[in-house]
Amino acid sequence: MLEADLVVIGAGPAGMSASRTAAEAGLTVVLLDEQLRAGGQIYREVENAAPVRGDILGADFVDGLSLVRALEHPNITHVKGAVVWQIEDRTTVAYSINGVASFVIGKRLLIATGALERPMPVAGWTLPGVMTVGAAQILIKQSGMVLDKAVLAGCGPLLYLTAAQMCRAGARPLALVETQSMADLFFSLRHGLGAIRGWRDLAKGLGLLAELRRAGVKRYTGATAIAIDGETSVEALRFRTNGQEHRLECATVLLHHGVVPNTQAALSIGAAHEWREQQRAFAPITDEWGGTPIDEVFIAGDGAGVGGAVVAALAGEISACQVACGLGAITDEQRDKAAGPLRRRLRRELAIRPFLDRAYPPYAEAVSPADDTIVCRCEEVTAGAIRRFARLGCIGPNQAKAFGRLGMGPCQGRCCGLTVTELLASENARSPDQTGYYRIRPPIKPVTLQEMASVAEEGEQEITRET
């Protein structure tokens, strides 16, 4: 069993920056992460990939090296390959490594679990050959593999970045099929001042679009009626734009229409959440330090609201300052002096978010899919079935479990949760906040009875040694 002043779940930008800041303040830190190397999704395998694929992945990716290397501190214990499956007594965390379970006890807990790609249920999305854009990035970062004959569909800046990376690697996408419209761009202009303040990010996006034009990547915007054709695997992508029907033959379809906070761990301990209409997702309620109504628990990074890697790293540092102050490692004055510049930079980095959120809204036909579209992949439940459950009296996702086993498969609702909330809210004429989300109970990741028993045995051994 491990003990520490601060337990951090997740070694992405927020978790890494928080760990280093807390360690430098004199706190002992245990950092738990599922991956074998630090970096999270955005900086996945950065130590190995940056030297050989840095030119493909870009300077922003290589910047993650400094965060990873900062974990080399005597006060930080980085537990790699650790699958966290339970949090109890607020700061006691159970985890497994290669099927062997253990636990760590901290005085404070920081949840830095990052974001998930928003599932995009459309006709044919369960066919072999359909992947998320994030999965394509994992292949590039971790294995140097690039998908050939691919069409990218959805919306958001990550589409442009991934397409550009594919071009640099010599596998130019066949096309980008984008769902945002000119109307979305027009209405986003009300947030133009924030876009100007975030001009660096805006310039990066324009640079990626210019790179795609030079590479000859075809772009379609305002796409609707997206459907994937195929018998046993992907054969083509169908869609409509500007009143015309299109069918693009391809071997792979990469879907993406935004990312949302990964709230599973926070929900499992009863942390309060609210619906964020701008990002159409639930996010935890936190204060300016990432603190929650549960005094010992903090949440930082994209898991507290999507802002990107730089924002996540800054939020992690800010939370660590408050943790260090609360544990007496630094004074209030030292905390405020350290956090001041971080907050100013955080405001600058967040300035562009309202513009981006309005310019690239989630694809409406995936938020409210057609009746015959599968929503819960684990249990193969369609949107039509969920609407039928609502007409039978189902008012929330937890009831939906009893009606059709929704959210009870291996993903435990990660893939279907938000869509189920939206469908039930619409059918019952209620708000997403009133409808709610799945009640997440441990284990929050699949775990065997043998692993759970090994934790109990370890606890008994600790008690024996103490007596």
| pLDDT tens digits for range 324-355 | 999 999 999 999 999 999 999 999 999 999 99
- Residue reference for tokens 């990432």: 290
Tokens 């290669």 -> residue: 98
pLDDT range class, residue 323, cuts 50, 70, 90: very high
- Strand arrangement of the beta sheet that strand 150-155 belongs to: 130-132, 252-257, 150-155, 175-178, 218-220
Q: Which tens digits make up the pLDDT trace of 43-97?
A: 999 999 999 999 999 999 999 999 999 999 999 999 999 999 999 988 999 999 9
Residue of higher predicted confidence among 189 and 451: 189
Return the pLDDT at 462.
52
How does the average pLDDT of the chain come out, rounded? 94
Select from 362, 361, 384, 282 the least CA-distant residue to 120. Answer: 362
DSSP state of 143: I
Give pLDDT tens digits for 168-181. 999 999 999 999 99
Span 110-126, pLDDT tens digits: 999 999 999 999 999 99
pLDDT at 188 over 90: yes
For β-strands 381-382 and 374-376, DSSP reports them as antiparallel
pLDDT-based confidence at residue 447 (cuts at 50, 70, 90): confident
Instruction: State the CB neighbour count (10 A cutoff) for residue 341.
Output: 11
Find, among 238, 260, 302, the residue nearest to 416 by Cα.
260
Region 253-263: mean pLDDT is: 97
pLDDT over threshold 80, residue 464: no
Long-range contact pairs involving 330-338 (C-beta distance under 8 Å, separation at least 24): 330/25
For residue 456, what pLDDT is reported? 62
Residue 267 has pLDDT above 50, yes or no: yes
Confidence of residue 458 (pLDDT cuts 50, 70, 90): low
- Mean pLDDT on 425-433: 97
SS3 content of the chain, % helix, strand, coil (to 5): 40, 20, 35
Confirm if 226 and 177 have CB atoms less than 8 A apart: yes
pLDDT at residue 386 greater than cutoff 70 = yes
What's the average model confidence in pLDDT over 155-184?
Answer: 96
SS (H, E, C) 363-399: CHHHHCCCCCCEEECCCCEEHHHHHHHHHCCCCCHHH
Q: Cβ distance 283 to 271 under 8 Å?
A: no
For residues 261-285, give the mean pLDDT.
95
Q: What is the pLDDT of residue 451?
A: 83
Residues 138-145: what's their mean pLDDT?
93
Q: Which of 89-93, 205-209, 369-373 is least confident? A: 89-93
8 Å CB contact between 388 and 428: no
160 pLDDT band (50/70/90 cuts)? very high
Enumerate residues 6+ apart whose C-beta is below 8 A from 210.
none
Backbone angles phi, psi at 195, to 5 degrees: -65, -40
Distance separating alpha carbons of residues 132 and 129, to the nearest angstrom: 10
pLDDT for position 466:
43
Strands 273-276 and 381-382: unpaired
Query: Is residue 260 within 8 Å of residue 118, measured between CB atoms?
Result: yes
Stretch 372-384: mean pLDDT: 96
Residue 372's pLDDT is 97
pLDDT per position as a tens digit, 20-46: 999 999 999 999 999 999 999 999 999
CA–CA gap between residue 131 and residue 168 (Å, rounded): 20
Q: Which of 225, 241, 260, 256 is nearest to 422 (CA)?
A: 260
Identify the pLDDT of residue 416: 95
| Positive/negative CA dihedral, 399, 400, 405, 409 | negative
Question: What's the pLDDT band for 463 if we cut at 50, 70, 90?
Answer: very low
Give the number of other Cβ atoms within 10 Å of residue 333's Cβ.
Answer: 9
Residue 440 backbone class (left: φ over 0; alpha: ψ -120 to 50; beta: rest): beta
Label residue 446 by pLDDT band (50, 70, 90).
confident
